[in-house]
Amino acid sequence: MTLSPAFLDELRARTLLSAVIAPDVKLTKAGREWKACCPFHNEKTPSFTVNDDKGFYHCFGCQAHGDAIRFLTDARGLPFMDAVKELAAKAGMEVPAPDPRSRERAERSTDLTDVMAAAQHWFAEQLGGSEGVAARDYLQGRGIKPLTVQRFGLGLAPAGRTNLKRALASQGEDKLVDTGMLIRPDDGGDTYDRFRDRLMIPIRDNRSRVIAFGGRLLGPGEPKYLNSPETVLFDKGRTLYNIDRAGPASRQAKRVIVVEGYMDVIALDQAGFAEAVAPNGTALTEAQLERLWRLDPAPILCFDGDTAGQKAAVRAALRALPHLAPERTLRFVALPAGQDPDDLVRSGGRDALEALLESPQPLVDRLWRHEQEATPLATPEERAGLKQRLLQHAAAIADRSLSLLYREEWLSRFDALTVRGRPPVRPQQRGQWVKGRGFVPPPPPASAAARTIGQQGIDRPTARAILAGLALYPEAIAGHAEALAAFSFADRNASRVRDLLLDAAMDGQALDRERVATILRDAGAATHLDQGTRGGGMGFTFSRPDSDPQRAQRDLGVAIETLSAQREIAAALAHATERLKNGDERAFDEQLRLHAAQNETNERLAKLTATD
Reported as a single tens digit per residue, the pLDDT across 367-386 is 999 999 999 998 888 888 99
Give the whole-angstrom CA distance, residue 570 versus residue 27.
62
Asked if residue 48 has pLDDT above 50, the reply is yes
Higher pLDDT, 331 or 582: 331
Chain mean pLDDT for the chain: 85
pLDDT of amino acid 104? 64
CATH class entry, domain 111-227: alpha beta
pTM for the model: 0.60
Q: What angle do CA 115, 116, 122 make, to 5 degrees?
A: 90
Inter-CA distances, 58 with 10, 26, 70, 77, 266, Å: 21, 15, 11, 18, 34
For the chain, the distance separating the N- and C-terminal CA atoms, rounded to the nearest angstrom, is 68
pLDDT digits (tens, 9 = 90+) for 536-595: 445 788 888 888 888 888 888 888 888 888 877 887 788 878 877 787 777 777 778 778
Asked if residue 443 has pLDDT above 70, the reply is no
As beta bridge partners, residue 301 has 258, 332
- Provide mean pLDDT across the span 30-59: 89
Confidence of residue 40 (pLDDT cuts 50, 70, 90): confident
Asked if residue 465 has pLDDT above 60, the reply is yes
Give the whole-angstrom CA distance, residue 58 versus residue 47.
8
Residue 258 has what DSSP assignment?
E
Confidence of residue 432 (pLDDT cuts 50, 70, 90): very low
**Into which CATH architecture does domain 5-96 fall?**
Alpha-Beta Complex (3.90)
Give the whole-angstrom CA distance, residue 595 versus residue 578.
15
pLDDT of amino acid 612? 46
Give the whole-angstrom CA distance, residue 263 versus residue 139.
10
SS3 162: coil
Give the whole-angstrom CA distance, residue 331 versus residue 313.
10
CATH code reported for the domain at 243-368 = 3.40.1360.10
pLDDT of amino acid 453? 42
Higher pLDDT, 528 or 116: 116
pLDDT digits (tens, 9 = 90+) for 389-431: 999 999 999 998 899 999 999 999 998 888 653 333 333 333 3
pLDDT digits (tens, 9 = 90+) for 104-128: 655 666 689 999 999 999 999 999 9
pLDDT digits (tens, 9 = 90+) for 263-300: 999 999 999 999 999 999 889 999 999 999 988 999 99
Give the whole-angstrom CA distance, residue 279 versus residue 73.
35
CB distance 391 to 384 below 8 Å:
no
Higher pLDDT, 5 or 135: 135
pLDDT of amino acid 32? 85
Give the whole-angstrom CA distance, residue 189 versus residue 449.
83
Q: From the DSSP assignment, how many helices (H) and strands (E) are in the chain?
A: 26, 18
pLDDT of amino acid 428? 35
Give the whole-angstrom CA distance, residue 233 versus residue 288.
16
Higher pLDDT, 451 or 597: 597
pLDDT of amino acid 332? 98
Give the whole-angstrom CA distance, residue 200 versus residue 558.
58
User: Furthest-apart CA pair in the chain: how many Å?
Assistant: 111
- Provide mean pLDDT across the span 230-248: 92
